């Protein structure tokens, strides 16, 4: 019996490692991540999003393809003339699918907060009171899950900046968080290699908040 269990453990370990280090998956992801850098229209954004979704269909135990599809839908809603609510809703649906694969993940939780920021921006007067609190809770949770996640800290800084402006308060808290975010981005950059697939976006946003503090 012990021999059988040991054999099964080795088999499962081999299968997991083969999946985690799948050259075809890594190559497909790197291709889509590179394509993200040159998006100039909603159609181009949708094409790259569809590429991530095709990867997600094949690798249905990986959360990153769904994460990037959700992220692209969110950015497209901010950048282009599209049905913003529809795009943000689609983004949240994809983020929730990613969450089912990787529950309580700081990156996914922060992205969900970012999506709510987008929903709020469509109609801040009507949605501000409800969605701002929900977004702040998600950013707080994301930071609690990983205190070194620069995106979670930066997005919280953006929310703090917006709230300070709305209530006529000082920017000190937002500025402090933005500077912390930049420090965390510097640490993250030291880890990034050619095969790095994890999220790295957000430094520009941290710089924007920090620049308003000078």
For residue range 152-197, what is the model confidence (pLDDT) as tens digits? 999 999 999 988 887 788 889 999 999 999 999 999 999 999 889 9
Tally the C-alpha atoms within 13 A of residue 125's C-alpha that lie toward its C-beta: 0
* Per-residue tokens: 64: 């990153």
* Residues whose CB is less than 8 angstroms from the CB of residue 28 and which lie 6 or more positions away in sequence, other chains included: 51, 55
Give dist(CA 22, CA 20) in Å, integer: 6
Is residue 8 scored above 90 in pLDDT? no
pLDDT score at 21: 66
Domains of the chain by residue range: 26-103, 125-214
pLDDT score at 87: 98
Give dist(CA 75, CA 118) in Å, integer: 9
Contact between 114 and 74 under an 8 Å Cβ cutoff? The reply is yes
Range with lowest mean pLDDT among 2-11, 44-53, 90-99 = 2-11
Tally the C-alpha atoms within 13 A of residue 83's C-alpha that lie toward its C-beta: 4
Q: Dihedral angle at the C-alpha atoms of 30, 31, 34, 39, nearest 10 degrees?
A: -140
Is residue 43 scored above 60 in pLDDT? yes
Contact between 108 and 67 under an 8 Å Cβ cutoff? The reply is yes
SS3 198: coil
Residue spans of alpha helices (H) in the chain: 2-20, 23-36, 42-58, 64-79, 84-101, 106-122, 124-145, 150-167, 172-189, 203-211
More confident residue, 86 or 22: 86
The rounded mean pLDDT for the chain is 90
Whole-number percent of the chain with pLDDT over 90: 81
Residue 53's CB is within 10 A of a number of other CB atoms, namely: 15
Is residue 28 scored above 60 in pLDDT? yes
* Per-residue tokens: 208: 């924007």
pLDDT in tens, 98-118: 999 999 999 999 999 999 999
pTM, to two decimals: 0.89
């Amino acid at each position: 019996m012990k021999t059988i269990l040991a054999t099964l453990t080795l088999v499962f370990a081999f299968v997991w490692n083969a999946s985690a280090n799948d050259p075809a998956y890594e190559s497909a992801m790197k291709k889509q991540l590179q394509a993200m850098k040159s998006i100039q229209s909603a159609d181009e954004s949708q094409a790259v999003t569809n590429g991530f979704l095709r990867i997600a269909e094949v690798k249905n135990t990986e959360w990153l393809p769904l994460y990037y599809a959700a992220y692209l839908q969110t950015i497209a809603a901010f950048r282009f003339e599209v049905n913003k609510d529809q795009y943000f809703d689609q983004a949240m649906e994809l983020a929730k699918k990613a969450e089912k694969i990787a529950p309580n993940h700081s990156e996914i939780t922060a992205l969900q907060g970012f999506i709510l920021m987008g929903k709020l921006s469509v109609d801040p007067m009507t949605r501000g009171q409800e969605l701002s609190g929900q977004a702040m809770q998600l950013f707080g949770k994301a930071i609690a899950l990983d205190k070194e996640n620069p995106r979670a800290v930066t997005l919280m800084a953006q929310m703090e900046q917006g709230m300070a402006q709305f209530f006529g308060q000082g920017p000190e808290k937002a500025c402090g968080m933005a500077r912390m975010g930049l420090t965390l981005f510097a640490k993250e950059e030291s880890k990034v290699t050619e095969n790095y697939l994890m999220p790295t976006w957000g430094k520009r946003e941290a710089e924007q908040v920090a620049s308003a503090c000078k």
